[in-house]
């Protein structure tokens, strides 16, 4: 039995597989021979970033290692991050003992977290295990030339540009737009749309469905108000009335609504505004000589959200009552809290933001969370967005903090559960937060600094510290060298071919289907000067997801007279 002991490396064992990534190598000897000393895995996601495992099967030569396996975690796509980024990670690498069915866990014994940045985006272990101990099957790490590595990565601190959102409001104003529309009764189109009209600084359209829409399909005329050119980050609170006018008696059919219009939800209306049989009654005056008069009244409180300039900040994750540092992941500035209280139907949802590899939003109850009988405090929650797309049985443990800015002192009140270090979210519980953030009376008192000139600022930080979900697994297979196959392809009338690319019939080798591709005029660097020849996997869609096949191959153009062939391996 190999006793693992390397200074500075903590090596407990775990019965649980790694959360984020598993790499199964099914022909380690081939990897040793053909990986040019370094093998990079496919990419996987963890903590909102992309990563890959880097394995040096014969040791990291640049560090003069040749008697140990070296394994590293590398951030992928780091060149796309903004200048000055830093990511602190708590990471663990894994090596499976296949005899016992447990994992050797590799973790730095001296550091709780490692800092990655533009000059350093690789962390890991130079001496994971001596090669002679690794290849000894009694230790269980290499069985039948197969081994299994893994990784877990949790982001515990960041310095980067977070997302900020601002809600603004101006005085409300009412606009009315009439639309006279011809509705043919015999050949009614799916929908009719008005010309764009301008109201309250925005462009709108009215959309009418003569055959009905949604719940009014085939029974009612449906009528909707649509924001014509929504800005990507906009949210506009609008009171509106849609009306079908009784042109004879003045007894109109109408409905009122109050909704947040945005790029994601640009249209609201009423699927059952008026029934077909009522519309067609001549004495009602709704349809006169096949013309219908429609009106839209728009009372726009003129809220919108604007992406603010990126903010650079750092948060060390220490729980304190107050902080001078802005929240890492999200800032929400509300510039007319009184209108939010008046029109948000007791609940306001912010835009979505990213943290820890998931999407989140802030939920503010400006008059208190009524379902919990709270009415004298502001309630604020963090909610996971898009949870319906996650697989069954997922769990996410988060360390989160919510923020409220004291504008008088320029510091943030930090809201954190004093009894729990982390909260578990799952399909039945997507929301967490605080029922009683602050009494409404104290919040409205300008001397406290939380509401100044009807403005307030909330924020959020979310760090994922544990997950239970389906991680990514990759299998690296090697084709057995004993099963060498040769395929001969004879190309007729090659000199007369004008085809850009010639392709052989499929052939089987090593349990896979292949084709040869030949470019008479060359390809890539050989374009116009050389004949180019390639080996192609014919059915890559049949490979297991994430799998790679290590293959040794030779491509040859035969000298049919002198046997002095041209070939490459």
pLDDT confidence tier of residue 457, bands split at 50, 70 and 90? very high
The answer to whether residue 398 sits within a structural domain is yes
Q: Who wins on pLDDT, 295 or 172? A: 295
Pair 267, 349 in one domain = no
The answer to whether residue 257 sits within a structural domain is yes
Res 258 pLDDT > 60: yes
pLDDT for 85-134, tens place per residue?
778 888 889 999 999 989 998 887 665 567 776 667 788 888 888 989 99
Pair 18, 148 in one domain = yes
pLDDT for 360-370, tens place per residue?
999 999 988 88
Pair 185, 294 in one domain = yes
pLDDT confidence tier of residue 196, bands split at 50, 70 and 90? very high
Pair 332, 455 in one domain = yes
Tally of domains in the chain: 4
pLDDT confidence tier of residue 205, bands split at 50, 70 and 90? very high
Share of the chain above pLDDT 70, in %: 83
Res 314 pLDDT > 50: no
Q: Who wins on pLDDT, 505 or 481? A: 505
Q: Region 512-531: what's the mean pLDDT?
A: 89
Pair 435, 536 in one domain = no
Q: Work out the number of other CB atoms within 10 angstroms of the CB of residue 66.
A: 12
Pair 137, 250 in one domain = no
Q: How far apart are CA 529 and CA 339, in angstroms?
A: 71
End-of-domain residue from the set 122, 156, 190: 156
What CATH number did the domain enclosing 457 receive? Answer: 2.60.210.10
End-of-domain residue from the set 266, 298, 330: 298
pLDDT confidence tier of residue 244, bands split at 50, 70 and 90? very high
- HSE-up of residue 288 (Cα within 13 Å, Cβ side): 13
End-of-domain residue from the set 156, 185, 219: 156
The answer to whether residue 26 sits within a structural domain is yes
Pair 13, 147 in one domain = yes
Q: Give the CA distances from residue 155 to residues 87, 313, 367, 418, 461, in Å, rounded to whole numbers and listed in that order.
A: 7, 16, 35, 22, 12
pLDDT at 33: 72
Res 535 pLDDT > 60: yes
- Find the range with the poorest average confidence among 284-288, 386-390, 471-475, 515-519: 471-475
The rounded mean pLDDT for the chain is 81
- Find the range with the poorest average confidence among 120-129, 319-328, 461-470: 319-328
pLDDT at 310: 35
The answer to whether residue 425 sits within a structural domain is yes
What is the residue range of 214's domain? 172-298
Q: How far apart are CA 114 and CA 117, in angstroms?
A: 10
Pair 231, 269 in one domain = yes
Res 524 pLDDT > 60: yes
Q: How far apart are CA 157 and CA 16, in angstroms?
A: 25
Q: Region 8-35: what's the mean pLDDT?
A: 77
Q: How far apart are CA 190 and CA 277, in angstroms?
A: 18
Share of the chain above pLDDT 90, in %: 22
pLDDT confidence tier of residue 316, bands split at 50, 70 and 90? very low
Are the beta carbons of 533 and 518 closer than 8 angstroms?
yes
Pair 326, 283 in one domain = no
The answer to whether residue 546 sits within a structural domain is yes
The answer to whether residue 472 sits within a structural domain is no
Q: How far apart are CA 505 and CA 320, in angstroms?
A: 69
- Find the range with the poorest average confidence among 78-82, 388-392, 423-427: 78-82
Q: Who wins on pLDDT, 320 or 340? A: 340
Q: Region 246-255: what's the mean pLDDT?
A: 90
Pair 438, 502 in one domain = no
pLDDT at 170: 43
Res 500 pLDDT > 80: yes
Q: Rounded to the nearest 5 degrees, what angle is found at the Cα of 63, between the Cα atoms of 61 and 69?
A: 60
pLDDT at 209: 94
Pair 488, 456 in one domain = no
pLDDT at 25: 87
Res 472 pLDDT > 80: no
Res 234 pLDDT > 50: yes
> Among residues 540, 466, 545, which one has the least CA distance to residue 506?
540
DSSP at 500: S
pLDDT for 414-451, tens place per residue?
888 766 667 787 878 888 888 888 889 999 999 989 99
Q: Region 544-555: what's the mean pLDDT?
A: 74
The answer to whether residue 499 sits within a structural domain is yes
Res 504 pLDDT > 80: yes
The answer to whether residue 113 sits within a structural domain is yes
Pair 289, 343 in one domain = no
């Amino acid at each position: 039995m190999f006793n693992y002991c390397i200074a500075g490396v903590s090596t407990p064992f775990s019965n649980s597989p790694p959360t984020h990534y598993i790499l199964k190598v099914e022909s380690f000897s081939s990897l040793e021979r053909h990986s040019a000393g370094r093998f990079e895995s496919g990419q996987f996601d963890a903590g909102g970033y992309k990563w890959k495992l880097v394995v040096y099967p014969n040791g990291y030569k640049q560090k003069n290692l040749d008697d140990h396996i070296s394994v590293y975690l590398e951030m992928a796509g780091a060149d796309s991050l903004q200048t000055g980024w830093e990511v602190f990670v708590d990471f663990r690498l894994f090596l499976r003992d296949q005899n016992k069915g447990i994992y050797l866990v590799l973790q730095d014994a001296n550091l709780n977290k490692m800092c990655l940045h533009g000059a350093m985006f690789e962390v890991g272990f130079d001496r994971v295990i001596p090669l002679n101990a690794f290849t000894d099957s009694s230790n269980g790490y290499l069985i039948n030339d197969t081994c299994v590595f893994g990784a877990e990565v949790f982001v515990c601190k960041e310095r980067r540009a977070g997302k900020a959102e601002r809600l603004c409001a101006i005085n409300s104003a009412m606009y009315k737009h009439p639309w006279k529309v011809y509705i043919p009764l015999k050949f009614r189109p799916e929908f009719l749309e008005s010309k764009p009209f301008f109201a309250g600084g925005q462009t709108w359209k009215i959309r009418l469905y003569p055959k009905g829409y949604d719940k009014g399909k085939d029974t009612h005329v449906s009528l909707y108000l649509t924001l014509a050119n929504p800005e990507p980050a906009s949210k506009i609170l609008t009171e509106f009335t849609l009306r079908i006018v009784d042109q004879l008696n003045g007894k109109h059919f109408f409905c009122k609504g109050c909704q947040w219009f945005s790029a994601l939800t640009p249209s609201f209306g009423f699927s059952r505004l008026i029934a077909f049989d009522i519309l067609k009654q001549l004495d009602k005056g709704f349809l006169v000589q096949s013309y219908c008069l429609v009106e839209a009244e728009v009372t726009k409180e003129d809220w919108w959200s604007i992406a603010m300039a990126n903010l650079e900040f750092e948060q060390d994750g220490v729980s304190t009552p107050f902080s001078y540092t802005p929240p890492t992941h999200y800032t929400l500035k509300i510039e007319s809290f009184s209108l939010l209280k008046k029109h948000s139907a007791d609940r306001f949802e912010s835009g979505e933001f990213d943290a820890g590899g998931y999407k989140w939003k802030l939920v503010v109850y400006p008059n208190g969370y009524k379902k919990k009988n709270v009415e004298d405090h502001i309630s604020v929650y963090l909610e996971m967005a898009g949870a319906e797309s996650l697989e069954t049985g997922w769990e996410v443990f988060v360390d989160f903090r919510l923020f409220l800015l004291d504008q008088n002192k320029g510091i943030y009140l930090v809201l954190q559960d004093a009894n729990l270090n982390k909260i578990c979210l799952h399909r039945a519980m997507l929301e967490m937060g605080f029922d009683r953030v602050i009494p409404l009376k104290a919040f409205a008192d300008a001397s406290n600094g939380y509401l100044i000139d009807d403005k307030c600022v909330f924020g959020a930080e979310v760090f994922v510290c544990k997950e239970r979900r389906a991680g990514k697994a990759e299998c690296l297979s090697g084709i057995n060298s004993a099963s060498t196959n040769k395929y001969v392809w004879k190309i007729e009338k090659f000199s007369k071919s004008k085809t850009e690319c010639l392709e052989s019939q499929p052939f089987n080798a090593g349990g896979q289907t292949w084709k040869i591709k030949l470019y008479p005029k060359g390809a890539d660097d050989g374009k116009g000067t050389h004949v180019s020849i390639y080996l192609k996997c014919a059915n890559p869609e049949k490979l297991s997801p994430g799998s790679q096949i290590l293959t040794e191959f030779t491509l040859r153009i035969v000298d049919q007279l002198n046997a002095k062939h041209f070939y490459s391996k």
